[in-house]
A and B are shown apart, each in its own frame.
Chain A
Amino acid sequence: MSVVRRSRAFVGRQPAPLIAGVVLLAPFLFVTLVPGILATHGPLSIEDRPLLGPSAQYWLGTDEIGRDLFSRSLYAARNDILVSLSSAFVAFTIGTAIGLFAGYVSGRIDTIVMRIVDVLLSFPTIVLALFLIVVFGRRQWVQILAIALVMMPSMARFSRGTGLVLRNRGYVEASRIAGASRWQILRHHVLPNSLPTLLVAASVLASSAVLISASLSYLGLGAQPPDPSWGNMLRAAYGVVYQAPLYGIGPGICVTIVSGAYILIGEGLRRKFRTDRNVGASAATVGTI
């Protein structure tokens, strides 16, 4: 009883966008882990005639070779959620490490590092990812790293700003006076104090990772048939748009909900941390990523 009441109180204290985002994302996380429970059919099994409309048996209809679209959309989450989260995680870790270090150290090292980052930033996102996948093959980890690499520079730019702000904070200078090394200051003061802002940025990264991943699959460079992904399903839907106009609805809605949920979580986190004074830079700039 008291646990229920306490957890209800806990939920009540959270900002609305955070709750909404988590509620929207939860089913997708669930099917990522155990797709078999919700799916009505197997993702690869051919069930019926192709391109059937939605019915009680096939909730979203069937695809061009008669597989259940609803089940395929769910199974596709496994690929897309994994790719988006892991690429966002990699981009966040590397980008933050580079950015905070460059911002905190500043000076010549900062200039050199950030010019390299700027070069990366100047490549068109999709073109760079396409290039990497073409060179290194169409494997999932290549896809993850390619997406991470194209998102990393903006994360580095953003966290550099935070590092620059925190560098001049009194507690960082006090720590320097007491003889702390760069590494100690970065670990004990700069990273913890920038984390709230950076996590918000990370949620925006995850959201754009979903979109990039779907775009790559759409171009045929993501998960390869017969494995489903939202991008390659949308591509298939495009080919048969006159025969089965409702084909693309399932994967399309999934992409929208997932990327929207990440953004909502980010906005929720921003509101949650807004009351704290430790947010290094204005979280509004996160939107520029």
Chain B
Amino acid sequence: MPGALEVDGLSVTYRAGRTLVHALDDVALTLPPGHRMAIVGESGSGKSTLGLAVMGLLPGNAAFSCQRLSIDGTAIDLRNTKQLRSLRGNTVSMVFQDAKASLDPVRTVGSQIAEPLRVHRVVPKRDIGHEVERLLRDVEIKRPTQTARQYPHELSGGMRQRAMIAAALAGRPTVLIADEPTSALDVTTQAAVIDLIGRLGQSGTMSALLITHDLALVAGFADSVTVMYAGRIVETGSVDEIYSAPAHPYTRALLASIPSLFGDRNRLLGSIPGAVPDLNLRLPGCVFEPRCAVGRGREICRTVAPPMIAVGGGGQARCHFPGEQAAIPTDVVVPVAISSSRAEMTTPTVELRSIVKSFHRKSMTRGRRSRTVAVNGVDLVIGAGESVGIVGESGSGKTTLARVLVGLEVADSGEKMIRVGDALVAVTRLPKDYVQFVFQDPGDSLDPLMSVGDIIAEPLVLRDGGRPNRYRNQVAALLDDVGLRVEMAERRPLELSGGQRQRVAIARALSTQPKLIIADEAVASLDMSARGQILNLFSRLQAEHGFAYLYISHDLSMVRHVCDRVVVMYGGRVMESASTDDLFVGPRHPYTQALITAVPVPDPRVERQRERMAIRGEANDEAPTTGCAFRARCPIAQDICAEEVPRLDTTSSHGVACHFADQAASLYERVSVDAEIVPAERVHHG
């Protein structure tokens, strides 16, 4: 039986100026009919190029060779544009990362879903309207007739992505390729969209190919997983094999770098030393050798490129020593050095009281002013040396709160207090060196024209004056602190990798020895292997310097790993605030519960049994201004929720702003009971 998609000997080279970038090198892949496969890799692994190549959508500067490409048993000639055009959107179709950019803003959603129907004459003309509605129902859109008449900007992010999927399904494709379909979405929406693609792949004869960087995301989705590295497939196998007994050291290292929702959080995250290699060089030997814990220095790994060899359970791995990696421990449980005693943590470094911040916006089309309350009366205390996490979906006000704290936004009302000696003093502006910020995108937060040394010295220059050269010794010490070589001081940000840039941003934040460092999604833009490195660096620096952290993130497993205390925000208000252990073991707010159950767990057995806490709607939906902000999406909301704002109980260490917290807690026990019993730690201990 022929595979739905068969690729053999596919190589792609991009020409960029005078350099050749070998994006794909001899890739072979077979996707059986009705099969769901995940392609996982970091940036530069070639995973997106593979998707584009199969669609015949490679850009003009790409040269390729391909021994065989067949879809449904039919051989495809990648140079035959006519044949490709008849296949696209018909036999093969694709869902892109950013539905907002992929949908035409001036045409209705329905007409865009109808396009492939018309082009490929899937159904007779008069049936197109019905077919569009049927497709929208298939992607679980509640009111298909209404949605079809709407424009993309009228839909939420998740709805848009569903509409994209509906358009991709219109031609009744044999193969559906989804390239990072959820990375622009919130956690709860992401879970729903991945579940949807999984169900679609399961129900019929369609095969689904999900391209992603997030290994945790696909555990519950895929039948098999293909891991790519530096343009090559390094391992393929069934989903259970990959997660329980990865054969390639790279796969294993990737798995170890995912912070877990369960198990011991006092361990260092696994991380892979170094960075993804330059793809313009072709070195002999194994591409992963320079970063590998198994092959390090071995003659055969440095000189001979390993072939794909069969490993147990029907998988294949491109490694000379596939069995050996299991013997090497990837994670080390370290008793995290508690830098400050509990007593010290209770003395606040910073305290915010009833902060309110709103934004005025003039609507271009309707000409009226609207006021959005981004932060609505939030109290926040950060103790000395404490790590506090703020979690919430987009629009929850978490970033605005941090910007108010640091002084980038001015609050409408509320007080900011800092500690001076033993007393708390209200201030309007924080002292220059009291708090520092690490931004999400290090490519944006470092001035491209300045040298790394000048960037790191900038806060010192601003505080103490003088020229950047004066601080050369301090810069060298800071570079060493964040694990960069001293020579880096001469480089420019553009010459560095993402992880290196974030280290520079951290060194800058450290330079004035602040009391508090705010990290706003500081690892979200980094590759999986770099995330582990940076999070471990944060932990080490805190143990050494004893400052407090405020982590702002949508990633709950990351927050669980690094924070002492977690604050959950929704619609500008605090929903729940508790110590990390209390919060993850027994969340009492329905919103927190929904967030936790939406986090993908990198273990297929857990994912299959898990139940998600179902909540309606999406994060971007307008939160009600009266009563409980969450009530429109809450599964247990009652009349009182619309009338009375639930108060956060500040007397207990586990505060919940919900009228029915006890009811929610017992509801959660039913949902979570299965997940708890699975020994997820086995993944890490091999």
Contact = CB atoms under 8 A, between A and B. Distances in A.
B449 A193 contact: yes
B447 A171 contact: yes
Given A170-B439, A174-B437, A178-B432, A277 B512 contact: no
A170 B441 contact: yes
A169 B441 CA distance: 10
A179 B445 CA distance: 15
A235 interface: no
Given A189-B447, A192-B449, A179 B462 contact: yes
B458 interface: yes
Interface in A14-28: none
Interface in A158-217: 169-171, 173-180, 184, 188-189, 192-193
Given A193-B448, A277-B448, A278-B448, A178 B458 contact: yes
Contacts of B512: 178
Q: How large is the interface on B (under 10, 10 to 19, 20 to 34, 35 or more residues)?
A: 20 to 34
A278 B493 CA distance: 11
B462 A171 contact: no
Given A184-B462, A189-B447, A192-B449, A174 B508 contact: yes
Contacts of B455: 171
A189 B459 CA distance: 14
A177 B447 contact: no
Interface in B316-359: none
A94 B512 CA distance: 37
B463 A179 contact: yes
Interface in B425-467: 432-433, 435-437, 439, 441, 443-449, 455, 458-459, 462-463
A170 B408 contact: no
A169 B494 CA distance: 15
B452 to A, nearest CB: 12
A277 B445 CA distance: 13
B432 A174 contact: no
Contacts of B446: 170-171
Contacts of B406: 177
Nearest to B463: A179
B635 interface: no
Nearest to A279: B448
A261 to B, nearest CB: 27
B650 to A, nearest CB: 29
B313 interface: no
Nearest to B520: A170
A177 B429 CA distance: 10
A179 B432 contact: yes
Nearest to A175: B458
Given A178-B432, A179-B432, A278-B448, A173 B462 contact: no
B624 interface: no
A177 B436 contact: yes
A169 B408 CA distance: 12
A277 B494 contact: yes
Given A179-B432, A180-B462, A174 B494 contact: no
Q: Which 6 residue pairs across A and B have the least CB separation, nearest first?
A: A170-B445, A179-B432, A178-B459, A170-B444, A171-B447, A170-B439
Given A170-B446, A173-B439, A178-B436, 5 more contacts: A173-B445, A178-B432, A192-B447, A193-B447, A277-B494
17 contacts: A170-B441, A170-B444, A170-B446, A171-B445, A171-B446, A171-B447, A173-B439, A173-B445, A174-B439, A174-B445, A177-B407, A179-B432, A180-B462, A276-B448, A277-B443, A277-B494, A278-B448
Interface of B: 406-408, 432-433, 435-437, 439, 441, 443-449, 455, 458-459, 462-463, 494, 505, 508, 512
Interface of A: 169-171, 173-180, 184, 188-189, 192-193, 276-278
